[in-house]
Amino acid sequence: MTDRSDQESGQDIQEWTVEADFAKERIDKYIADSMEGVSRSQVQIWIGDGQVTVNGSQVKSNYKLAAGDKIELVVPEVAAVEILPENIPLEVVYEDSSVIVVNKQRGLVVHPAPGHASGTLVNALMYHCHDLSGINGELRPGIVHRIDKDTSGLLMAAKNDKAHASLAAQLKDHSVNRRYIALVHGHVQHDQGTIDAPIGRDAHDRKMFTVTERNSKHAVTHFSVMERLGDYTLLELKLETGRTHQIRVHMKFIGHSLVGDPMYGRSKGVKMNGQALHAATLGFVHPDSGETLEFNAPLPQDMEDVLASLRSR
């Protein structure tokens, strides 16, 4: 998938070239599975409104795809969507006139999506800050990077466009220090290592990601063992790149999926409500002062409880 903006109209345009694995799949299902936070019914509305073309022609929602089809979706502007401030509990780790760093609780979605405009971190930030950068549009004000809904931990947001541009550039050149703590299944033998494996959409389930050479992006995760707990291992992981579900996919790839991961994990063993993954460290250069800042957030109580139980065995 490619994502581009039309410079004259400012429209968001999504493009796909259909692979043979998805021949004969309905176009509404294909697009919904390819876009995070977009429902199939929303895609059907877009198709009915003529926002979707295949090989340059409009189609119906039940159109069956063929290998090589070129799909283009012009995503309607979201200016009419009103994202409202909400008094959602927010643990602020650091804040000044340009940047805010929060320790996100597990279960909180980072930003609104079409058809889901409330109960997110963005709604909470709007209530708390009143001033957020507008670079990412009305659905994602201030958001420079994301962590998954069921991943807890540190996340930075920008209060103005200058700060946003600086933080985004640091993420792009991999200078932001992002370290995670994860509890995984199995006994990780090596004390430390690097997983260098490209990540792309799963050919059989486009809501998932996997290690693949096809339509993939370079992805690198470094890990080191913090503690071995019988059939489980506590790891510290450092992201060199920031792909969707990167840690979860890479750990599954090496045979050590995250405890509690509902998508990539195992159904047996220790139970958690969401994956045992915590963004513990976040370091970056302040956009205004040039000072290097680094923050640490303790493990959430549910992970501490699981670790205490494993240590007592």
For 87-109, the pLDDT digits (tens) are 999 999 999 999 999 999 999 98
CB 232 within 8 A of CB 183: yes
pLDDT of 3 > 60? The answer is no
pLDDT of 83 > 70? The answer is yes
> What is the pLDDT at residue 46?
93
Q: How far is Cα 308 from Cα 287, in angstroms, rounded to an integer? A: 40
DSSP one-letter string for 4-46: EE-TTT--EEEEEE--GGGTT-BHHHHHHHHSTT--HHHHHHH
% of the chain at pLDDT higher than 70: 92
Greater pLDDT, 81 or 127: 127
Residue 242 DSSP label = -
pLDDT of 236 > 80? The answer is yes
| Mean pLDDT (whole number) for 33-58 | 89
Q: Which of 37-41, 139-143, 279-283 has the highest mean pLDDT?
A: 279-283
CB 102 within 8 A of CB 155: yes
Q: How far is Cα 250 from Cα 194, in angstroms, rounded to an integer? A: 10
Across all residues in the chain, what is the average pLDDT?
A: 89
For residue range 146-193, list pLDDT tens digits in order. Answer: 898 999 999 999 999 999 999 999 998 889 999 999 999 999 999 999
Confidence of residue 136 (pLDDT cuts 50, 70, 90): low
Q: How far is Cα 90 from Cα 121, in angstroms, rounded to an integer? A: 8
DSSP one-letter string for 276-309: -EEEEEEEEE-TTT--EEEEE-PPPHHHHHHHHH
Greater pLDDT, 188 or 142: 188
CA distances from 212 to 18, 201, 208 (A): 16, 8, 12
CB 224 within 8 A of CB 40: no
pLDDT of 203 > 80? The answer is no
The verdict on whether 21 is a catalytic residue reads no
Q: Look up the pTM and report it.
A: 0.78
Question: Of the ranges 19-33, 43-57, 84-98, 125-139, which one carries the lowest mean pLDDT score?
Answer: 125-139
Confidence of residue 137 (pLDDT cuts 50, 70, 90): low
Q: What is residue 196's three-state secondary structure?
A: strand
Q: How far is Cα 61 from Cα 43, in angstroms, rounded to an integer? A: 8
Other C-beta atoms closer than 10 Å to the C-beta of 161 total 12
Catalytic residue among 28, 33, 69, 148: 148
Q: Take residue 246 and report the two structure tokens written for it.
A: 């990167």
For residue range 220-230, list pLDDT tens digits in order. Answer: 999 999 999 99
Of 52, 50, 73, 55, the C-alpha closest to 1 is: 73
Q: How much helix, strand and coil, in percent to the nearest 5, is found in the chain?
A: 20, 30, 50
Q: How far is Cα 106 from Cα 128, in angstroms, rounded to an integer? A: 19
| Mean pLDDT (whole number) for 204-216 | 84
Confidence of residue 310 (pLDDT cuts 50, 70, 90): very high
Q: How far is Cα 271 from Cα 260, in angstroms, rounded to an integer? A: 6
> What is the pLDDT at residue 78?
52
